Structure 1
């Protein structure tokens, strides 16, 4: 496995590649990331007899952090990340510095549509999807992958990236990897490392709340009667009673994340975000 830090070295490393599969990360990798890497490796091996390459980036992107968020304290575990990537089929790690990726202030930015990017996560983290879209578009331009793999845990992010690729006519196939969970059901996340032992035991309640709302949605669809607002409010209140500070627990249409008010035959998704102590967790379940 090669580790490169600047654009020129990356282009040299990737020049022989007949096909490129890309997994962008911010590092501090967990099993969910590694399964995305394994998916990339499998796709390369399936599509090319030889000459295909897998690429992972490690870059903590300042543009997607708000002024009071955890950019400075975000866990950086580079050596361990590289060892894990090598063991899971990565050919090239691209780990640029800020000066490599942003040699001058990034004044050109990608602004996704408000109806997709200013709801849910975007409502509580203003500018987040501008930062994500900008860095991902830039990384796509640099790596020039044939396919890229993202996790479904960041459901809205995956949708924004899919839409960006479609709108910009980028010749990249976007593959979504299923959310990896701990044995108790907690979605794996780099930010889980912020949780105390007591908080970690409690953290599974977010996925339990989502499962409850999903079950209510399924039952309501069968019965032909569903008060979505009441079910969402009940799920949020249940978390509040346990000491959480929920931002949202909501039922949405999968195809555009628009709200539903009653029974629906469309594919749905339950999404949630809530703070437990100082740690903000997100999760989702497709219905």
Structure 2
């Protein structure tokens, strides 16, 4: 049996709740083989990000080529890329790879700590997003990239069009920061898919964005369409948030293995 192959290009989270660690846990939970290219190393825990150190572009390029040229890949997910030089390197690599790409344009951490240099924003807009099959920005990242500020559900459509104008084929605008239900908008500019889930009373949500993007990439690697992969990923992340647990003294992580802990019927 050959498992679908998914590659994450992102930062390492020493606390294990987000980043590369969350990506690989998600890929395993969803029945795929996860592989990794580490773009940055963070000192991070439940209280925040105490520091990060980006890897040189040649190290990122070598990791990527080592995996893709030998093992191959059926979907790629990008997360924290930290600097303009890394964004440019990764954009070039994924543009030359024949596989769907999910771009999570990580700008800040769950705790509000910056994870992307301001000097990298033009490279994200002009190089990384045009190479994406799907982009998955949250509302803060929409504002960071386009200037559009969303205050209610009606603004999700404007945000989607602003991101689509930067080049991805599809965009998923994550409305989790809005009041009410957790509502997201998936669109390619023509077809719209509104995804809703009840807002859960659980503050332990570290790693939600990384986990959702990785779950979508896992679905694409299995051959699902973008709408199918996003719907499956939304169901997975909703369960993971519901099962989120305390860790340390701050915000705990979602539970990537929640399905394995469900009682047998």
TM value normalised by structure 1: 0.30
Length-normalised TM-score, structure 2: 0.32
